[in-house]
Amino acid sequence: MDITSGLVTAQKNIYSVFEITKKIKNLLEENFHDVWVRGEISNLRTAASGHIYFTLKDEAAVIKAVLFRGYQKAVPFDLADGMKVIVHGNIDVFEKRGEYQIIIDLMEPEGIGALQLAFEQLKEKLQKEGLFDESHKKKIPAFPDTIGVITSPTGAALRDILHVIGRRYKGIRIVIYPVLVQGEGAAEEIVEAIGIANRRREVDVLLVGRGGGSIEDLWAFNEEIVARAIYDSGIPIISAVGHEIDYTISDLVADLRAPTPSAAAELVVKNKVELLKWSKELIIRLFTTIDRIVAQKKERASFYSVDVLLHRLEVLLNQKNLILDDLTRSLYSCIEAVIIRVRGRFEKTVGQLNALSPLNTLARGFAIISRLPEDTPVFSTTDVNTGDEIKSRLKDGLLFSRIHQIKKLPSNGDKKP
């Protein structure tokens, strides 16, 4: 028996490697099953299995760490070497290698909220990819007939949108694409709804949003899949998330950002209401100006065109009544007074014109007509062709015009062709 052997056999407890490891394992795992550790990430790598391995270190020590795939949902931001983090988990001993490591189930960046960091990271990534570029933003239609709304069918956002649109303008169709706006599956539903709206092609513009809430509540609108769906949408999208202070990735990608759902609705109908008002004004001005022109020019009209003018005015008068009927049926009753006034003026002018006999005008009017560019005199309808430019000399000036129509009068053919 040698000395060594004697020493060894003198010991009562001899562990096998497995046994001592088991003891260490029990000791560590029982005492450190719920710990928080602060450190810096290094040697970060993602295995083929999807698990993420790294070392947590500080100035004096290192500890191995693993974030299994199943727990990665709880960590919304991307990890990087050098990032300072606080992790939660339990210590685990891997017997076969004689190593211990921390199995992470929660993780926070140090000094900033996890979601805040995730937001910043995604914002930077999408910015680099050009998802926020102004050049990609689509124009919001000024005159939408149909508005799509992607939001919760029971939420405050929808109530606000319907309220605003109902108050400002009723002549509009709204299609609601109901979705969850927070919690599990919300982002996927929003993405699907954007896809459905684009396939159905029934709306001119989409409002995508929800009422205000915490950053967790608004999280679906910070998801990358939602951002990409908004970017890829062929239909212009106005994002309408939360109240003024809440900013989301969706806001940055959308073609237009409204601070609240109400404001989004305002934006959409404001254009429409304004265009409607403008079109009314134009129509009224159209009729006002023609009666002024006719009144000014009727005495100076060259003789050959008076009967044509009268005929055309008659036709127009009939159409005008149809238009005015439509106008009178429209929303703003205050406009009606103006229409009635214009109608009166127009009819009076036309009445005056009707009272003018073409013969009287012929007697009063005087014109020498020549064909341009040669300036050759025109004596007969056969001296000119449709489309020719002619010059009429009146007592007080020249008229340049183009021939639209040649109509021979059988009773008054002063020259035979």
Footprint on this chain of other proteins (rule: CB under 8 A): 141-143, 153-154, 158-159, 162-163, 165-166, 170-178, 196, 200, 275-276, 278-280, 282-283, 285-286, 289-290, 293-294, 296-298, 300-301, 305, 309, 312-313, 316, 319-320, 322-324, 326-327, 329-331, 399-401, 404
Rounded CA separation 239/221 (Å): 9
- To other proteins, the closest distance from the beta carbon of 223 in angstroms equals 22
Instruction: State which residue, 316 or 384, has the beta carbon closest to other proteins.
Output: 316
- To other proteins, the closest distance from the beta carbon of 309 in angstroms equals 6
- To other proteins, the closest distance from the beta carbon of 150 in angstroms equals 10
Instruction: State which residue, 9 or 289, has the beta carbon closest to other proteins.
Output: 289
Please, are residues 385 and 377 in contact by the beta-carbon 8 Å criterion?
no
Instruction: State which residue, 215 or 316, has the beta carbon closest to other proteins.
Output: 316
Q: Classify the C-alpha dihedral 271-272-274-278 as positive or negative.
A: positive
Instruction: State which residue, 215 or 294, has the beta carbon closest to other proteins.
Output: 294
Instruction: State which residue, 26 or 321, has the beta carbon closest to other proteins.
Output: 321
- To other proteins, the closest distance from the beta carbon of 105 in angstroms equals 37
Rounded CA separation 38/110 (Å): 8
Rounded CA separation 332/297 (Å): 34
- To other proteins, the closest distance from the beta carbon of 123 in angstroms equals 31
- Give the Cβ contact number of residue 142 at 10 Å: 12
Crossing angle, helix 261-297 and helix 306-328, to 10 degrees? 150
- To other proteins, the closest distance from the beta carbon of 110 in angstroms equals 44
> Of 127, 249, 128, nearest to 187 (Cα)?
249
User: What residues does 141 pair with on adjacent strands?
Assistant: none
- To other proteins, the closest distance from the beta carbon of 130 in angstroms equals 29
- To other proteins, the closest distance from the beta carbon of 224 in angstroms equals 25
Instruction: State which residue, 16 or 154, has the beta carbon closest to other proteins.
Output: 154
> Of 142, 112, 328, 134, nearest to 215 (Cα)?
112
Q: What is the dihedral of CA 329, 335, 341, 342, to 10 degrees?
A: -80
Instruction: State which residue, 5 or 296, has the beta carbon closest to other proteins.
Output: 296
- To other proteins, the closest distance from the beta carbon of 153 in angstroms equals 6
